[in-house]
A and B are shown apart, each in its own frame.
Chain A
Amino acid sequence: MIASISWKNVWRNKTRSAVVIVAVTLGTVAGVFVAGLMNGWVAQRINATIYTEMGHLKIQNPNFLVNEETQYSIKPIKDLTAYLDNAEEVDAYSKRSKIMAVAATARANTGIMLKGINVENEKQVSDVYTKLMPNAGTFFESKSRFPQVVISNKTAEMLRIKNYRISEKVMDSLKILEIPQDGMAKLESIANKRFITKKKFETAINETWTKSEIESYAPVLIKTAAYFQPRAKITFSFTRTNGEIGYQTFQVCGVFKTANTMFDQMSAFVKNEDLYAVAGLNANQFHEISIVTKSTDFKDIKAFQSKLSKAFPEQNFMTWKELAPDAGMLSDFMQIYYYIIMGIIFFALAFGIINTMLMAILERIKELGMLMAIGMKKLQVFAMIMLETVFLTLTGSFIGMLIGGVLISITSKTGLNFSSVEEGFEAIGWSAIVYPNIELSFFFGVTILVIIVAILSSIIPARKALKLKPIEALRIE
């Protein structure tokens, strides 16, 4: 009965309650959506960490961790792979030989980690093969006389294999994009010239186009005009197991791009059969094994890790959280941050709630006096005011969670594009398109939080009511 009076009291002064409800709604929408955004982002980062970069578990020779020399391969590889083949925890694994190399073209060179893989096995543990740039080849699907390499977009840029040219075809596609005649005409002066770096191409554009044209159309132009030199060749030099320098030339077969520039910069994939012999390795020498486990529960991964360590004490086994501590930490602590955000928002809202409830109490003093006179106990009056506060706040937050939830579910499909700041994010491994997402339990947690905030906010107004003496309250006109 007290609850029903509280609920009715919420709607007594509709305008005043509506103001609070709208404020709480907006605060909740903002908080829930920001949490969803962060959570989606973190989930993507963790997903990329596991399914693109690391796998759940990685096996290495401990010496290789200290010093990435080719001689430090995993031992005993046969027993270990036999164990993995029979372990029911394993979903898939991929063996890689890894050789630090200097990649060189006629124009530039850069340091890189060559990863010798079995293509089919690699596809089972890493989705790099799905991250190929458009019109930039395949993941070892074409035939060639030469050994093939798949490099990243970043590496292609650094080695100046990625060039820019405004060809006839580029002009045609630009026309479709509705770039004004005027701007198109200006481009004629730099058409069909090849620019070997983005910087040079940008400089040329800056000289031809006006500021407003650059602002509106330069990004599309750069994207459309970019191309990878077909059949470009890269020569890799590295230290062989015997200490001598080895060379091997590979032809670029595909170009990939993940959300993590650091990973991209460091990784070039080749077939192990093209690599091991020139590096002085044998066909069964590998430097790392990436494992994807069946269970994604970290406890199970941890358990499998210790089981493996016991069976093969000489090797090093690391979970993805150890390999990528930043992602691991996010996965462990993000939930707390979401609640901190919600907490801050509700802390601010609490002042408005307290104020509104104080006004509601002050204009009802006589009525409260009467209620106490006819037999309502202080605790019941307290409960009535507290529930009124809880209902008021919960109404707003429910509407807010509903709207926030709908926003998240829409954007989780369409994605949110932060490409204006893309490079900054991707440099640290974060994708520029975010798919917000949040677990249902978060809404449950927010509801609890709202109730706690409402109860705390009701204390000051309720105390005011409890200090009333019935006769004094009744005497007021």
Chain B
Amino acid sequence: MKVIEIDNLKKTYSESEVEVHAVNGVTLDIEEGEFTAIVGPSGSGKTTLLNMIGGLDIPTSGEVIIGGSNMNHLNGSELTDFRKNNIGFVFQAYNLIPVLTAKENTEFVMKLQGKSKVECEKRSKELLESVGLGERINARPNKMSGGQQQRVAVARALASKPKFVLADEPTANLDSKSTETLLDIMEKLNKEENITFVFSTHDARVVKKARRVITLEDGKILSDVRKNGGE
């Protein structure tokens, strides 16, 4: 089943004298359960593409269809709701809420969704255990390492039961050991729970783990490779 359908997507910045075609005609589909890396040199348009998929940025032309809904047809407030219910986000700089504990951070989106207290507690505990932080549920972000914070971010992204998880350079701020742990967890979640991940990276070790690698250059798809064992 297709989770994401992208058709001739373009984003052009024309603030300066010269127009910048950050994303320049991308067409691709992402199937449920895929573990996709978007790679490419800095400035190739990875972030811009992910932001448009995530409904954070508006395309200049083309469309993004998620689970059958065309993102172009949603207004600001509808987009916010759409993100909340359909997309899990993991950011490069962890971006947890500093005043909340790991558990509270994980529950945050669920609470925005109006889930019951019991459900929030149960799911946040399960998720934190599955990212290996069962012992640290009451720790605040400033008491955790970068790797641990990013694992909380993954747990938070999953808490809302999204259709897929978007992660823009999730390992860029991590050392190699934490990078490996995080990817193992993401891989395990993908295999065991069939969670769809789309992440950008320029780290070769991360690329190796991906089962589909889409390479961007100057806002265009240079190659799109599915590795064996993917399907």
Partners in one complex: yes
Contacts of B156 in A (CB 8 A): 374
* Alpha-carbon distance between A11 and B84 when the two chains are bound, in angstroms: 28
Is B99 a contact of A12 with CB atoms below 8 Å?
yes
Contacts of B100 in A (CB 8 A): 5, 8
> What is the 8 Å Cβ interface bit string for chain B, positions 51-84, against chain A (1 contact, 0 not)?
1001011000000000000000000110011011
Is B97 a contact of A367 with CB atoms below 8 Å?
yes
- 8 examples of A-B residue contacts, CB within 8 angstroms: A12-B98, A367-B98, A373-B54, A375-B84, A378-B76, A380-B112, A470-B56, A474-B56
* Alpha-carbon distance between A169 and B108 when the two chains are bound, in angstroms: 83
Chain B interfacial residues counted at CB < 8 A: 26
Q: Which of B57, B80, B111, B113 contacts A372 (CB 8 A)?
A: B80
A366 contacts partner chain B, Cβ-Cβ < 8 Å: yes
* Alpha-carbon distance between A372 and B56 when the two chains are bound, in angstroms: 9
Contacts of A370 in B (CB 8 A): 91, 95
User: In the complex, which residue of chain A has the Cβ closest to the Cβ of B85?
Assistant: A375
Nearest chain A CB to B24's CB is how many angstroms away?
19
A112 contacts partner chain B, Cβ-Cβ < 8 Å: no
A463 contacts partner chain B, Cβ-Cβ < 8 Å: no
A428 contacts partner chain B, Cβ-Cβ < 8 Å: no
Is B57 a contact of A471 with CB atoms below 8 Å?
yes
Contacts of A374 in B (CB 8 A): 83-84, 89, 108-109, 156
Q: Which of B89, B99, B111, B113 contacts A8 (CB 8 A)?
A: B99
Within 8 A of A (CB), among B85-105: 85, 89, 91, 93, 95, 97-100
Contacts of A5 in B (CB 8 A): 97, 99-100
Contacts of B113 in A (CB 8 A): 375
B150 contacts partner chain A, Cβ-Cβ < 8 Å: no
Contacts of A474 in B (CB 8 A): 56, 91, 95
Within 8 A of B (CB), among A326-382: 366-367, 370-378, 380
Known: A12-B98, A366-B95. Is A376-B56 also a contact (CB below 8 A)? no
Is B99 a contact of A375 with CB atoms below 8 Å?
no
Is B80 a contact of A375 with CB atoms below 8 Å?
yes
10 tightest A-B contacts by CB?
A375-B84, A8-B99, A370-B95, A1-B111, A471-B56, A375-B83, A377-B80, A375-B112, A470-B56, A374-B89
Query: Using a CB–CB distance below 8 Å, which chain A residues touch chain B?
Result: 1, 5, 8-9, 11-12, 366-367, 370-378, 380, 470-471, 474
User: In the complex, which residue of chain B has the Cβ closest to the Cβ of A475?
Assistant: B47
Query: Using a CB–CB distance below 8 Å, which chain B residues touch chain A?
Result: 51, 54, 56-57, 76-77, 80-81, 83-85, 89, 91, 93, 95, 97-100, 108-109, 111-113, 156, 160
Is B95 a contact of A376 with CB atoms below 8 Å?
no
Contacts of B112 in A (CB 8 A): 1, 375-376, 380
Nearest chain A CB to B52's CB is how many angstroms away?
10
User: In the complex, which residue of chain B has the Cβ closest to the Cβ of A377?
Assistant: B80
* Alpha-carbon distance between A380 and B111 when the two chains are bound, in angstroms: 12
User: In the complex, which residue of chain B has the Cβ closest to the Cβ of A375?
Assistant: B84
Contacts of A371 in B (CB 8 A): 97
Nearest chain A CB to B22's CB is how many angstroms away?
12
Contacts of B91 in A (CB 8 A): 370, 373, 474
Q: Which of A11, A367, A378 contacts B95 (CB 8 A)?
A: A367
Is A377 a contact of B95 with CB atoms below 8 Å?
no
* Alpha-carbon distance between A375 and B56 when the two chains are bound, in angstroms: 11
Contacts of B160 in A (CB 8 A): 375
User: In the complex, which residue of chain B has the Cβ closest to the Cβ of A366?
Assistant: B95
Is B77 a contact of A378 with CB atoms below 8 Å?
yes
Contacts of A12 in B (CB 8 A): 98-99
Most buried by A among B83, B99, B156: B99
Is B99 a contact of A9 with CB atoms below 8 Å?
yes
Contacts of A9 in B (CB 8 A): 99
Nearest chain B CB to A388's CB is how many angstroms away?
11
Nearest chain B CB to A370's CB is how many angstroms away?
4
Contacts of B99 in A (CB 8 A): 5, 8-9, 11-12
* Alpha-carbon distance between A370 and B81 when the two chains are bound, in angstroms: 14
User: In the complex, which residue of chain B has the Cβ closest to the Cβ of A6?
Assistant: B99
* Alpha-carbon distance between A367 and B156 when the two chains are bound, in angstroms: 15
User: In the complex, which residue of chain B has the Cβ closest to the Cβ of A371?
Assistant: B97
Most buried by B among A367, A371, A470: A470
Contacts of B77 in A (CB 8 A): 377-378
Most buried by B among A8, A375, A380, A470: A375
Contacts of A377 in B (CB 8 A): 77, 80-81
Contacts of B111 in A (CB 8 A): 1
Nearest chain B CB to A469's CB is how many angstroms away?
8
* Alpha-carbon distance between A407 and B15 when the two chains are bound, in angstroms: 63
* Alpha-carbon distance between A464 and B93 when the two chains are bound, in angstroms: 23
Contacts of B56 in A (CB 8 A): 373, 470-471, 474
User: In the complex, which residue of chain A has the Cβ closest to the Cβ of B107?
Assistant: A1
* Alpha-carbon distance between A132 and B47 when the two chains are bound, in angstroms: 90
Is A373 a contact of B83 with CB atoms below 8 Å?
yes
User: In the complex, which residue of chain B has the Cβ closest to the Cβ of A376?
Assistant: B112
* Alpha-carbon distance between A371 and B56 when the two chains are bound, in angstroms: 12
User: In the complex, which residue of chain A has the Cβ closest to the Cβ of B57?
Assistant: A471
Contacts of B84 in A (CB 8 A): 374-376
Contacts of A471 in B (CB 8 A): 51, 56-57
* Alpha-carbon distance between A434 and B59 when the two chains are bound, in angstroms: 72
Contacts of A366 in B (CB 8 A): 93, 95
Nearest chain B CB to A376's CB is how many angstroms away?
6
User: In the complex, which residue of chain B has the Cβ closest to the Cβ of A11?
Assistant: B99
Given contacts A9-B99, A12-B99, A366-B95, 8 further A-B contacts (CB under 8 A): A1-B108, A5-B97, A8-B100, A373-B83, A374-B108, A374-B109, A377-B81, A471-B56
Contacts of A367 in B (CB 8 A): 95, 97-98
Q: Which of B57, B76, B95, B109 contacts A375 (CB 8 A)?
A: B109
User: In the complex, which residue of chain B has the Cβ closest to the Cβ of A477?
Assistant: B93
* Alpha-carbon distance between A376 and B51 when the two chains are bound, in angstroms: 17
* Alpha-carbon distance between A5 and B51 when the two chains are bound, in angstroms: 27
* Alpha-carbon distance between A12 and B99 when the two chains are bound, in angstroms: 7
Nearest chain A CB to B76's CB is how many angstroms away?
8
* Alpha-carbon distance between A309 and B63 when the two chains are bound, in angstroms: 86
Contacts of B97 in A (CB 8 A): 5, 367, 371
* Alpha-carbon distance between A11 and B99 when the two chains are bound, in angstroms: 9
Is A375 a contact of B98 with CB atoms below 8 Å?
no
User: In the complex, which residue of chain B has the Cβ closest to the Cβ of A369?
Assistant: B95
